[in-house]
Amino acid sequence: MRCSWWARASCTLSSLFYFASQSFAAPTDIPSAASFYIPSIPHIHANPDINLQLYGGHLSADPNATRASPTDVTAHLYFFMVKNRRTADKQRVVFWFNGGPGCSSFDGLMMEVGPWRWDGKSEHDFWVKPGGWEEYTTMVYVDQPPGTGFSYTSTDQFAHTIDVVQAYMLEFIKNFYQVFPEYKTVDTYLAGESFAGQWIPYIADAMLNSTLNIPLRGVAIGNGWIDSKSQYLTYLDFATKIGLLKENTDAWKKVNKLTQDCSAAFDRLGGRNPMKMKECSHIMYSVMDSKAHKQDGVDMCINIYDVRLEDTSPACGMNWPPEMPAINKFLAAPEVVASIHASAHPGTWTECRGQVHLAFHQDDSESAVSILPRVLSQIPVLIFVGDQDLICNYLGLEKMIKDMSWNGGTGLGTVQTQSYSVNSLPAGTWATSRNLTYVKLFNASHMAPFDIPDITHDMMLRFMNVNFSSVIDGTARIPSAIGSDVKPHFEEKLDTGEGQGTPASAKTPQQNKAMWEAYYNAGSAALVLIIVFLVIGTFVYCRLRRKRVQLPTTTHDPNEENIPLTSHRGMADDEDIDSSRRRSAKGKERAKNVATANGGSNVEEEERIFDVGDSDDEDYKHNK
């Protein structure tokens, strides 16, 4: 299946048929699959054992594109597709989304579930490694909503509301099927993390209700921001539980007071549960302040994505993971951008784009927990959570599940939570009830697949109901168990790459361990990364300071076009109640950058946005 007729045709014809789409207006006809084929990418070091088939480029996402004038810049979403290298029991496709709002899915591709990893040393080189989700599943990384990552549109078309986000994604999928019709009937999943916990249920809901007949079989959300009420109100519990705060200390009382104020603010809304509540946005910062200290004269604080780590203040996790500088350099290289067919995007790639973030009215949009029961009545949902994350911690998600009613019951009910082990080592806990699966993952951060790629891959294969008895080769044969549900014993060789064998059979823990080590030695990047990221956690990359305002122009000159946001509501009115000087200082610095980028125009508008501090807060909050 890896070499279907059309894929071969694509490879042959790719160079003949690719026309860089320099025109921004909606294409009148859909380009061929071959035009999206990516033969190779500079600075990605091939692995002869792992043959990747890559596709990528822009697809129109504006359902009204045909009514737009030819000079209009309409919404185009960028996707990067990695075709499955093996087939387990059937074909599957996963659409992956990172969070934000406004964070690029290249986070997932470059650091979490993609086919390559950084080596911890090079400036911007990446090495193809085993263990990515593309081993058995076609992965499609989507930069959305428009304006995120390599996606683009005119700034007045940035999504303000969730129904527009849905409409853009449906149009994208429709066009994706026109280019790749063979996926129309393939089992489809959505997966992602963080703020994608809002996007995914809404997109799933729209897909299930659409006339496109998308064979959506499930959705998986990692460390999601899904239910702001439950999640804001449990920061205190989490901080107390892990010992960040001691009960009845002054710091604890302060956070307790903020939590009560937040709760009262929700009560005043009479049942509404917006994705963001300005009255609640300071709880987490107060938790963080409790651990603030100086180290060698430098202000340090907790890493909000991994409570085991610290970062310099005020980044507090923004400098993490340590691969960010390499990713930025890689995706800024014009030869890379050209090779992945992203040149139609103006300016440089940025991990999280503030303008997209600010444009989306989180405080007017209902948290996705409100529609999750409707999704659960139709398809299985996996909620997984790395237990070392503060910002979207497991206690908040457990409270959400406990309070949620779906498929005729409330909470998980009487089902037994089982232990989940991978390669005979404890990996977490697993519980499934009425289409909802909750997996708590040990020793993992906000970006769980970054820390434990093997375990999260196994988890996803299980969630997608891969029939392990029919798996012939590859990492799906790494032993794992949920309670007494153990994978079949594999007698043959474990094949981690294409034709690269290591001993497999799962007889004793010692043998398991040896096999596991062999697997990892074959692709030890993950281990190297973990060590590296512990050692150089303070490596400096300040995303906020570098953030530029991205404007949809055909040139790279930011002065060329200055379309202001059509609305600043929901951001500009936020007040920085209790934020420390460092955050307002940062806000000013950003305003200054913006003013420079805009050649001095539009300063007041931007200052109004960037000075309030809350936008910073939100960048912290859901930004991966």
- Burial zone of 453 (CB within 10 Å; 0-12 exposed, 13-18 middle, 19+ buried): buried
Kindly tell me which residue out of 146, 224, 380, 523 binds ligand NAG, with binding defined by CB under 6 A: 380
Q: Does 201 sit near ligand NAG (CB under 6 A)?
A: no
**Judged by CB, which is closer to ligand NAG: 89, or 125?**
89
- SS3 at position 502: strand
Active site residue 160: no
Q: Does 161 sit near ligand NAG (CB under 6 A)?
A: no
Catalytic entry in 124, 446, 457, 622:
446
Q: Which window, 144-152, 239-247, 465-473, 531-539, contacts ligand NAG (CB under 6 A)? A: 465-473
Q: Which window, 139-147, 228-236, 462-470, 605-613, contacts ligand NAG (CB under 6 A)? A: 462-470
CB 156 within 8 A of CB 563: yes
Q: Does 15 sit near ligand NAG (CB under 6 A)?
A: no
Output the six-digit token pair for 408: 């005729």
d(CA 214, CA 216): 5
Interaction with ligand NAG in 204-233: which residues (CB under 6 A)? 209
Beta-sheet strand order (sheet of 44-45): 44-45, 126-128, 116-118
CA dihedral 346, 351, 353, 357 (to 10 degrees): 150
d(CA 172, CA 330): 26
Measured in residues, the chain has a length of 624
CB of 77 to ligand NAG, least distance (A): 12
CB of 307 to ligand NAG, least distance (A): 13
Residue type present at position 187: D
d(CA 164, CA 168): 6
Active site residue 293: no
CB of 276 to ligand NAG, least distance (A): 22
Q: Does 434 sit near ligand NAG (CB under 6 A)?
A: yes
CB of 74 to ligand NAG, least distance (A): 9
d(CA 152, CA 235): 35
Residue type present at position 320: W
Active site residue 343: no
Kindly tell me which residue out of 27, 63, 120, 409 binds ligand NAG, with binding defined by CB under 6 A: 63
Q: What DSSP character marks residue 188?
A: E
CB 420 within 8 A of CB 460: no
CB of 428 to ligand NAG, least distance (A): 8
Q: Which window, 27-35, 299-307, 467-475, 530-538, contacts ligand NAG (CB under 6 A)? A: 467-475
Distance (Å) of CA 439 to CA 43, 330, 472: 36, 33, 27
d(CA 546, CA 14): 36
Q: What DSSP character marks residue 397?
A: H
Kindly tell me which residue out of 34, 59, 139, 164 binds ligand NAG, with binding defined by CB under 6 A: 164
Catalytic entry in 21, 105, 194, 433:
194
Q: Does 467 sit near ligand NAG (CB under 6 A)?
A: yes
**Judged by CB, which is closer to ligand NAG: 63, or 501?**
63
Interaction with ligand NAG in 349-378: which residues (CB under 6 A)? 377-378
Output the six-digit token pair for 139: 């992965």
Q: Does 443 sit near ligand NAG (CB under 6 A)?
A: yes
In the stretch 404-433, what mask flags binding to ligand NAG with x, by CB under 6 A?
Answer: ---x------------------x-------
Residues contributing to the site for ligand NAG (CB under 6 A): 63-64, 164, 167-168, 209, 377-380, 407, 426, 434-435, 442-443, 467, 469-470
Active site residues: 194, 389, 446
